[in-house]
Structure 1
Amino acid sequence: MATKIEEIKSNASFEEIWKKIKHYGREGLGEIPDEDLHLLRFYGVFYRKPTPGYFMIRVRVPGGILESGKFTTSQLEALANITEKYGRDIIDITTRQQVQLRWIKIEDVPPIIEQLNRVGLTTLQTGHDNIRGVTTCPVAGLSADEVMDTRELVKEVNDAFVGNWKYTNLPRKLNITIIGCHDDCTHAEINDIAFTPAERKGEIGFHVWVGGGLGPWGTQRSLFLDAFVRKEEVKEVCLRILDLYTEYGNREKRNRARLKFIIDEWGLDKFREKLQSVLSFKLKRGGLARTHPHRHNDHIGIHPQHNPKYVYAGLNVLTGRLYLSQVRELIRIAKEYGTGEIRLTTDQNVIIPNIPKERLLEFKSEPLLSELSINPSPFTRGLIACTGKTFCPNALIETKDRSKELAAYLDEHVGAEVMKATGGLTIHASGCPNSCGNPHTGQIGIIGKKIKVDGKFVEAADIYLGAEFGLYGGFNELWKSRVPFEEAGPLLAEVIKRFVSQKYKYETFREWCIRVGEIKGSLNEFAPMIHER
């Protein structure tokens, strides 16, 4: 039997939902029925119970590129103007290179969406059972070390489903990444569909990975489909996998409705056969991976571009939250030193591209860089955090505040030692098991809890240790459960000090955690097994 949500979707359309948005924009919040609150999410409009009377709007930013030069105002400037006029002081960056606007009244939603559309941005399908933002390396087309530029591919795939009602009726959400760099900087291992650079018989293309994800149901690393595809075949592979997911995904149990569960049921070989049966071309077997086994580039700092006259700057945005004064300064310096373009990363940071080398010293003296650092402290640098209970009804803790406090504590007490030993350790925090902050990919993972201490509820966390980046790495594992946050800093500082003092010369944090028994994972569980055929 189909769920209530499936029944709601069956009679919907973009046209009908837009009519509802305009209706409620005229009539006010009133008593919007739950059915319509669900439907508004197809336009990226989310009612937030922790802030009664206000909505969040999620904006799609394909590949994380906020453009400038094509419009009367830059896309980031439009977001700032909307925030200033209709919202409050903050703009949030998500782990899918998208943007969230907060404190929005329903009366203001129609003009906001229209203003976004005028600068080439859309909110369509950023919520509910849709494909989330298609991610890619945030320096695609810039990096001096990339295998290929994926920007046009991201646009092609994005344009194929955005505004197409056929791809709104998925059993649940689905994540896609298309990476052209060596570094797996968008975490291909946790995407439902991932394309990573590969080479076969001298031809550059992509390997295909399927079934990755994180959620309250658990974790699943994406599986190698043993398939090599050319650039011109990527869109068709995406759409045909979407078709299989639409047809065969579980519509009776939403907690079993991700692509991974189809693969669990069929097995990878059957999934590949089913995909092959609906493609117009024959899938080739895999070739030689062009992705480094464990490297992850957060792009923070100053980096060369393929044009040696320019560099790009990666700025650390603490927990992905930008304040309006910072956004205004970002716009100014992006125009002053670059081309006005701003890029967003899946680590919730920002990049300013195309800075002339001769202006680099001047750029480094900008006051904004004291707030959005190009050289942050080691735990602040690797910090990712979900929205938290300030705005999210699912979160159990104030994730952004607690994770900032934890990072500051560790920076103060063990930061210098960790910087010398490893360069830093990442903290990924989620306020609930839904894992929006990608907690299982952090070397330190946090999932928020509420527990009773001396008869009073306090904010706490399950703490995970030992993730290793990349397609051949590993997720972290539960280390200690139900830890009050006031105890988390000292506990972690103690184990990190032991790591620094005991680690072998080239030993990673994961390897040390396994060797000394802090976690049970295997060191070679995802060893690379892909060779030229």
Structure 2
Amino acid sequence: MPRVDNAETTVTAEPTATATTTATTATEPAASSAQTASARARPSRSGKPQGQWKVDGTAPLNANEELKAADNGLNVRERIERIYAPGGFDSIPDDDLHGRFRWWGLYTQRKPGIDGGRTAQLEPHELEDRYFMMRVRTDGAALSPQALRVLGTISTEFARGSADISDRQNIQYHWVGIEDVPEIWRRLATVDLESTTACGDTPRGFLGSPVAGIAADEIIDPTPVITEIKRRYLGDPDLANLPRKFKTAVTGHPSQDVVHEINDISLVGVVHPELGPGYDLWVGGALSTTPRLAERLGAFVREDQAADVWHGVVRIFRDYGYRRLRNKARLKFLLAAWGPEKFREVLESEYLGYSLADGPAAGAPVGPADHVGVHPQKDGRVYVGATTTVGRVGGGLLSALADLVETVGAEAVRLTPFQSVVVLGVPTDGVDELLTGLDQLGLSTRPSPFRRSTMACTGLEFCKLAIVDTKDTAAHTISVLEDRLRDITPQLEDSISLHVNGCPNSCARIQTADIGLKGQIVTTEEGEQLPGFQVHLGGSLAAPGLEQPQLGRTLRQHKVAARDLPDYVERVVRRFVVSRAPGESFAVWAHRAEDEELR
């Protein structure tokens, strides 16, 4: 059964029973000749076609491609509204339920009571419940109090009080019944929110700077770029059949706050010496089981060029991306084969029709990317960043946050790629009241080094691929560490990021954390099999004082049981404090430390 993954979780897709062999193709003709297109290809070692549309043609080469070719995934919305919502769960055929529903942000969730040891033993239909996870994209938008209330009431009325902030700035609900989906869509539309292509082989939700347009030290406001891309291309049928998911990030803030190194395309604010503020173009980043950091193309993108450049890159992926094997179908594999110079040449000659200016690289990041704390805005007000506990914001919290924002006279809230929130437009005389109110809601503006930087994916509670509980395990670990490490907390100048993932995929970005934990079943010395984690240490993306981003190192044969996680983290952090060099970060220390120090 082919596996199909999404941005924060992974599910299994079923092939359609009667698939056609006609793919949805691009509407525009190729700019180059057939010989030029053939020259783009790099033959596989097996000599088999790789499913590159401009090289091999559009005939589907596997069950996932057949499903997409049979019917554009965007078309399923009409059937949900007209047939499946009135008819209930049993009215949904497999090809829509396990395939096209993803194009509208819907996946069946895990049935309660199935332990992680059985995840790989059961078929998808045995693992799934009759309820859905629904993902709502925010695309870095400022959420008004009205929008927060809509999100909050959806949680309480239709999702049993569930709501999580994902590390893609999305809101994820659980326990959603198919009967309620049209009404949820209707309510989201009243505040300009949606689940369109929030999952599936599509352009997923965009990461945008949480302080776009308001930070006093901003290089360029990315809001117009995101708005224009969405206006032109969100829900475009010609972009609804990509080889796999496509992730976007745009920021103009010097903290580089959108994890640009691990997106398929990123635009990072920079000042060109002649052309002024614009964007540095990065492509080809992604994690999962084969992590690869993005690369600069050396091109400077003006604001008025950004939407065209984004459209060009996503069409390169559509037309030249590898489709034969799902595990090779991300843009990072095409970039690895072509290299950045060829990628830029194809972008300019075949898709833009003009050359981009050479541009400078963005400087080293300045300041923390999570924006926690109180910071000045360009208009004299302030913005305030606050952490959640591993993204959990259900149970009325969103509605209560809306009330607090209005009470103190603030303007809106943005979500962050770190599962936290930023309150925008806070009057200076309302800061103290806001800080007190956020603390009462469990949103901390002065978090411990562990609460600040701990993230967790959905995990065993709802995800059909998970092996280990994540949210509760991470929350428990935070509480234990705050108590046990109180004596050395003042010595930790920086927070230590702890990312907890429920399976071998990297929905919680385990390879880029100080301490990354990959869920699996582990065997103790006594032969007992328990939920646990493979340990990754020393990962880091853009950060002050770090010359280059780096992926974490994996200690051979080193695993830790979930029940022992607080003990392990405490042990390693204490060793770090004792043996680090002056000013040395955990990530740098972890890469030079001996294996025994890290066990």
Say if 2:342 is the partner of 1:270.
Answer: yes
Q: Quote the residue 2:75 is aligned against.
A: 16
Counterpart for residue 377 of structure 2: 305
Q: How far 1:499 moved relative to its partner?
A: 1.3
Shift of 1:378: 1.1
Tell me which residue corresponds to 1:42.
103
1:93-132 equivalent positions in 2, closer than 5 A: 93-132=165-204
Q: Which moved more, 1:481-490 or 1:424-433?
A: 481-490
| Cα distance between partner residues in 1 of 2:413 and 2:407 | 12
CA shift, 1:423, in A, is: 2.9
Residue-by-residue CA offset, 1:414-433 (whole Å, 9 max, x unaligned)? 25424423232111111112
Return closer, same or farther for 1:259/1:416 CA change in 2, 3 Å cut-off.
farther
Give the counterpart of 2:356 among 276, 283, 295. 283
Residue equivalent to 2:328: 256
Q: 1:382 deviation in Å?
A: 0.4
CA-CA distance at 1:484 after TM superposition: 0.7
Is the alpha carbon distance of 1:429 and 1:100 closer, same or farther for their aligned partners in structure 2, counting shifts above 3 Å?
Answer: same
Residue correspondence of structure 1 range 17-416 to structure 2 within 5 A: 17-22=76-81, 23-30=83-90, 32-37=92-97, 38-50=99-111, 52-68=129-145, 74-202=146-274, 203-216=276-289, 218-277=290-349, 278-289=351-362, 291-293=363-365, 296-308=368-380, 310-366=381-437, 368-369=439-440, 371-416=442-487
Please state how far the C-alpha of 1:296 moved relative to its aligned partner: 3.8
Moved more, 218-227 or 77-86: 77-86
* Aligned counterpart for 1:424 among listed residues 464, 474, 495: 495
Aligned mates of 2:214, 2:487 — CA distance in 1: 32
Q: CA deviation at 1:455?
A: 5.6
Q: What are the superposed Cα offsets for residues 214-251 of structure 1, whole Å, 9 maximum, x if unpaired?
A: 012x1101111111111111111110111110011111
Specify the alignment match of 2:506 in structure 1: 435
1:524 matched residue in structure 2: none
Cα distance in 2 between the residues matched to 1:162 and 1:219: 27
Structure 2 distance, partners of 1:418, 1:518, is 24
**Alpha-carbon deviations, 1:177-200, whole Å to 9, x = none?**
111011121111101111112222
Q: Does 476-485 or 89-98 show the bigger shift?
A: 476-485
Say which is worse superposed, 319-328 or 162-171, in terms of deviation.
319-328
Equivalents in 2 of 1:395, 1:435: separation in Å? 11
Q: Is the 8 A contact 1:379 1:415 kept in 2?
A: no
1:45 alignment partner AA = L
Cross-structure match for 2:564: 487
**Cα distance 1:14–1:111, how it changes in 2: closer, same or farther (>3 A)?**
farther
- 2 CA distance for matches of 1:213 and 1:375? 31
Structure 1 CA distance, aligned partners of 2:273 and 2:357?
Answer: 11
The equivalent position to 2:536 in structure 1, one of 464, 476, 480, is 464
* Whole-angstrom CA distance in 2 between matches of 1:462 and 1:476: 12
Which has the higher mean CA deviation after the structures are superposed, 318-327 or 367-376? 367-376
- TM-score normalised by the chain length of structure 1: 0.92
Paired with 1:419 and 1:171, the residues of 2 have a C-alpha distance of 48
For residues 369 and 494 of structure 1, the distance between their equivalents in structure 2, rounded to whole angstroms, comes to: 31
Matching residue's letter, 1:476: G
1:305 deviates by 1.1
Residues in 2 aligned to 1:293 and 1:18: alpha-carbon distance in whole angstroms? 42
Distance 1:265 1:145 in 2: 38
Unaligned runs of 5+ in 1: 69-73, 521-533
How far did residue 370 of structure 1 move?
5.7
- 1:460 aligned counterpart, secondary structure: strand
Give the whole-Å Cα distance in 1 for the aligned partners of 2:327 and 2:149.
Answer: 39
Asked if the contact 1:466/1:519 (under 8 Å) is kept, the reply is: no
1:128-158: CA deviation from partner (whole Å, max 9, x where unpaired): 1011111121011111111111111111122
CA drift of 1:61 comes to: 0.6
**After the TM superposition, which of the residue ranges 192-201 and 464-473 deviates more from structure 2?**
464-473
Structure 2 CA distance for aligned equivalents of residues 420 and 394 of structure 1: 38
Query: Identical aligned pairs, as a percentage?
Result: 31
Partner SS for 1:48 = strand
Aligned with 1:262: secondary structure?
A: helix
Task: Identify if the C-alpha distance between structure 1 residues 458 and 195 changes in structure 2 by more than 3 Å, giving closer, same or farther.
Answer: same
User: Could you say what secondary structure the match of 2:192 adopts?
Assistant: coil
1:48-78 Cα shifts (integer Å, max 9, x gaps): 132521111111111143235xxxxx11211
- Distance (Å, rounded) in 1 between the aligned partners of 2:160 and 2:245: 29
Quick one: which amino acid aligns to residue 514 of structure 1?
H
| Cα distance in 2, alignment partners of residues 448 and 11 from structure 1 | 35
Q: Which amino acid aligns with 2:217?
A: D
The residue that corresponds to 2:522 in the other structure is 451
**Separation in structure 2 between the aligned mates of residue 394 and residue 128 of structure 1, nearest angstrom:** 16
Return 291-300 or 274-283, whichever deviates more.
Answer: 291-300
User: Which residue identity is paired with 1:26?
Assistant: P
Distance in 2 (alpha carbons) for counterparts of 1:329 and 1:150: 29
Contact in 2 for aligned 1:177/1:195 (Cα 8 Å):
yes
Partner of residue 476, structure 1: 552
Deviation at 1:293, TM superposition (A): 4.6
Contact 2:264 2:285 in 1 (8 A): yes
Letter in 2 for 1:304: P
Give yes or no for contact 2:284–2:335 (8 Å, CA) kept in 1. Answer: yes
CA distance in 1, matches of 2:138, 2:522: 38
In 2, the alpha carbon distance for the partners of 1:45 and 1:441 equals 27
Post-superposition offset of 1:15: 6.4
CA distance in 2, matches of 1:302, 1:324: 26
Match of 2:11 in 1: none
> Does the 8 A contact of 2:72 with 2:241 survive in 1?
no
Aligned equivalent of 2:61: 2
Match of 1:529 in 2: none
Q: Does the Cα contact within 8 Å between 1:58 and 1:98 map onto a contact in 2? A: yes
Q: Deviation per CA, 1:394-427, whole angstroms, max 9, x where unpaired?
A: 1111111111222223222225424423232111
Shift of 1:17: 0.7
Count of residue pairs the alignment pairs up = 512
* Distance (Å, rounded) in 1 between the aligned partners of 2:260 and 2:377: 23
* Cα distance change of structure 1 residues 288 and 53 upon mapping to structure 2, 3 Å threshold: closer
Contact 2:553 2:591 in 1 (8 A): no
| Deviation of 1:494 (Å) | 1.9
Asked whether the equivalents of residues 74 and 240 of structure 2 are also in contact (C-alpha less than 8 Å), the reply is no
* C-alpha distance in structure 1 between counterparts of 2:356 and 2:296, whole Å: 13
Distance 1:415-1:298 versus aligned 2 partners, 3 A rule = farther
What residue identity is the alignment partner of 2:227? Answer: K
In the superposition, the TM-score normalised over structure 2's length comes to 0.82
- Secondary structure of 2:357's partner? coil
| Residue 577 (structure 2) pairs with residue 500 (structure 1) | yes
Separation in 2 of the partners of 1:188 and 1:269? 19
Amino acid at match of 2:254: H
**Offset of residue 28 of structure 1:** 0.8
CA RMSD of aligned residues (A): 2.0
Q: Structure 1 stretch 134-143 or stretch 2-11: which is displaced more? A: 2-11
The aligned amino acid for 2:109 is R
- Using the alignment, how far apart are the partners of 1:514 and 1:101 within structure 2? 38
- For structure 2, list consecutive stretches of 5 or more residues without a partner in the other structure: 1-59, 113-128
Which amino acid in the other structure matches residue 552 of structure 2? N
